[in-house]
Chains A and B, each alone.
Chain A
Amino acid sequence: MTNFIFVPEGLIVAGAVALILMARAWRRPRWWLPTAVASLALVALLIELWVGATLATFFGGALVQDRFALFAKSAVLLAAALAIAVTDWSDEEAPTIGMAMILLAAFGVMIVASAGDFVGLWAGLELAGAAAVVLVSARRADLGLRLLVTGGVASALVLIGLALVYATVGSADLPAVRRDMAFEGATLPLAIAVFVLLGGLAVRAGLSPFQFARVPVSLGASPLGAGVIIGLVAAAALTVAIKIAAALTPLPAVFGPYLMVVAAVAMVGGGAAALATRSPRARLAYLAAGQVGWIAAGLATHYRSGLGASLFLVGAFALAATTGPALMAGADAGEFALAGIGALRPARAAGIALVFLSLAGAPPLAGFFGEFAVAAAVAQGGNLWLLSLGLLGALMSLAAAVGTVRAIYLQSPPDESRRASGVRLPVLTRLSTMGAAALCVAIAGYGVFANPIISLADQGAEALGLR
Chain B
Amino acid sequence: MILAGIAAASPSPAAVPGAGIFTSPLILSLTIWVPVIVAIAMHAIPNPRGRYDTLMKQIAFFTNLGIVFVLFITYNQFQTFLPTMQFEEKLPWLPSIGVTYHLGVDGPSMTMMVLSGIIGITSVLASWGVRERVRPYFSLLLLTQAAVNGAIAAHDMFVLVLFWGAAVIPIALLVFGWGGPRREAATWRLIGYWGFGTAALLVAVMTAYAASGGRSFDMDVLLKAAFTPRVQLAVGVALVIAASTRLPLFPLHGWARDVYSEAPLGVTIVVAGTASRLGAYLLLRTLVAADHDAARLLSPFIAALAAITIAYAAVAALRSADLRWAASRLALVPGGFTVFGLAALTPIAITGSVLSIFTGGLAAALIVAAAWTLTERAQTRSMQLLSGLAPRMPILTWVLVLAALGLLGVPLMASFPAEAMIFFGSFQSQPLGGFAVAAGLALTAVALAVIVHRVLFGQPNHDAPAVSDASLGESWYLGVLAGALLWVGLFPGGPKLPGTDQPIFDPGLINIMSAGITDIASPYVLPTPPAAAQ
Q: Which residues of A line the B interface, CB within 8 A?
A: 305, 308-309, 342, 346, 350, 357, 362-364, 368-369, 372-373, 375-382, 384, 387-388, 391-392, 394-395, 398-399, 402, 405-406, 409-410, 448-451, 454-455, 457-458
What number of A-B contacts does a CB cutoff of 8 Å give? 112
CB-CB under 8 A for A391 and B202, given A309-B97, A402-B172, A450-B94: yes
Q: Does B390 contact A (CB under 8 A)?
A: no
Interface membership of chain B positions 161-187, coded 1 if the CB is closer than 8 angstroms to chain A and 0 otherwise? 111011011001100110000000001
| Interface contact B95-A455, CB-CB below 8 Å | yes
Q: Does B188 contact A (CB under 8 A)?
A: yes
Q: CA separation between A402 and B94, bound complex, in Å?
A: 27
> Which A residues are CB-close (under 8 A) to B203?
384, 387-388, 391
| Interface contact A368-B206, CB-CB below 8 Å | no
Q: CA separation between A327 and B384, bound complex, in Å?
A: 52
A451 in complex: contacting residue of B44, B95, B188, B195, CB < 8 Å: B95
| Interface contact A392-B199, CB-CB below 8 Å | yes
Q: Which residues of B line the A interface, CB within 8 A?
A: 2, 5, 43-44, 92-97, 133, 136, 158, 161-163, 165-166, 168-169, 172-173, 176-177, 187-188, 191-192, 195-196, 198-199, 202-203, 206-207, 209-210, 214
| Interface contact B173-A394, CB-CB below 8 Å | no
Quote the shortest CB–CB distance from A143 to chain B (angstroms).
34
Q: A392-B199, A409-B177 are in contact. List 18 more A-B contacts (CB 8 A).
A: A305-B97, A305-B214, A346-B43, A376-B209, A379-B214, A387-B203, A391-B202, A395-B198, A395-B199, A398-B195, A399-B195, A402-B187, A405-B169, A410-B176, A410-B177, A449-B5, A450-B93, A455-B95
B210 in complex: contacting residue of A309, A362, A379, A391, CB < 8 Å: A379
> Which A residues are CB-close (under 8 A) to B209?
376, 379-380
| Chain A, residue nearest B162 (CB) | A363
| Chain A, residue nearest B174 (CB) | A410
| Interface contact A406-B176, CB-CB below 8 Å | yes
> Which of B133, B173, B210 has the most chain A CB within a 10 Å cutoff?
B210
| Interface contact B195-A448, CB-CB below 8 Å | no
B94 in complex: contacting residue of A369, A379, A384, CB < 8 Å: A369
> Which B residues are CB-close (under 8 A) to A378?
206
Q: CA separation between A458 and B133, bound complex, in Å?
A: 44
> Which B residues are CB-close (under 8 A) to A369?
94
Q: CA separation between A454 and B98, bound complex, in Å?
A: 12
Q: CA separation between A357 and B168, bound complex, in Å?
A: 12
> Which B residues are CB-close (under 8 A) to A392?
199
| Interface contact A399-B188, CB-CB below 8 Å | yes
> Which of A369, A376, A395, A454 has the most chain B CB within a 10 Å cutoff?
A376
| Interface contact A402-B2, CB-CB below 8 Å | no
| Interface contact A342-B191, CB-CB below 8 Å | no
| Interface contact B176-A373, CB-CB below 8 Å | no
Q: CA separation between A151 and B199, bound complex, in Å?
A: 36
> Which of B133, B195, B198 has the most chain A CB within a 10 Å cutoff?
B195
Q: CA separation between A156 and B169, bound complex, in Å?
A: 43
Query: Can you list 10 residue pairs at the A/B interface with Cβ under 8 Å?
Result: A305-B214, A363-B163, A363-B165, A375-B202, A376-B209, A378-B206, A387-B206, A402-B169, A409-B177, A454-B95
| Interface contact B136-A409, CB-CB below 8 Å | yes
Quote the shortest CB–CB distance from B258 to chain A (angstroms).
16
Quote the shortest CB–CB distance from B52 to chain A (angstroms).
14
Q: CA separation between A381 and B214, bound complex, in Å?
A: 10
> Which B residues are CB-close (under 8 A) to A382?
210
> Which B residues are CB-close (under 8 A) to A405?
169, 173
Quote the shortest CB–CB distance from B239 to chain A (angstroms).
15
Q: CA separation between A308 and B96, bound complex, in Å?
A: 9
| Chain B, residue nearest A459 (CB) | B96
